[in-house]
Amino acid sequence: MYFYQTNEPTPKMTLRGKITLAVWIVISLCLLFFFAFTIFLVALVVGAVLFLIHLFQRAQARMSPRRSPAPYQRPRQKSDYYRDDDIIDV
């Protein structure tokens, strides 16, 4: 695309055009701020709800009695934690 400049003077914006442009800019910024703030508030509420759910589930787990392990799991012994067979000799 070629850009060229003519020697004709550019027409000046009318006062009505300037006011209309300023109003549209203000309206569009207000809409932008409204939706951005709404999305922020929704994310904040969802985060707070998830935090509270997690907090109350953890509190219930502490208060519930200990259950015996599932029948297919063998109980862990202390010697399982200190095994030396995971060292690879070079």
Which comes out higher in pLDDT, residue 22 or 85?
A: 22
Residues 16-23 have a mean pLDDT of 96
In angstroms, the CA 39 to CA 51 distance is 18
Residue 8 above 90 pLDDT? no
Tens-place pLDDT, residues 37-84: 999 999 999 999 999 998 888 766 666 556 665 666 665 665 555 556
- Are 26 and 32 in contact, with CB atoms under 8 Å apart? no
User: What's the pLDDT score for residue 17?
Assistant: 95
- Is residue 66 left, alpha or beta, with left meaning phi > 0 and alpha meaning psi from -120 to 50? beta
Amino acid making up residue 24: W
pLDDT at 74: 62
How far is the C-alpha of 57 from the C-alpha of 53, rounded, in Å? 6
Confidence of residue 3 (pLDDT cuts 50, 70, 90): confident
Q: How confident is the model at residue 5 (pLDDT cuts 50, 70, 90)?
A: confident
The phi, psi pair for 61, rounded to 5°, reads -65, -35
What is the number of other CB atoms lying within 10 angstroms of the CB of residue 5?
Answer: 6
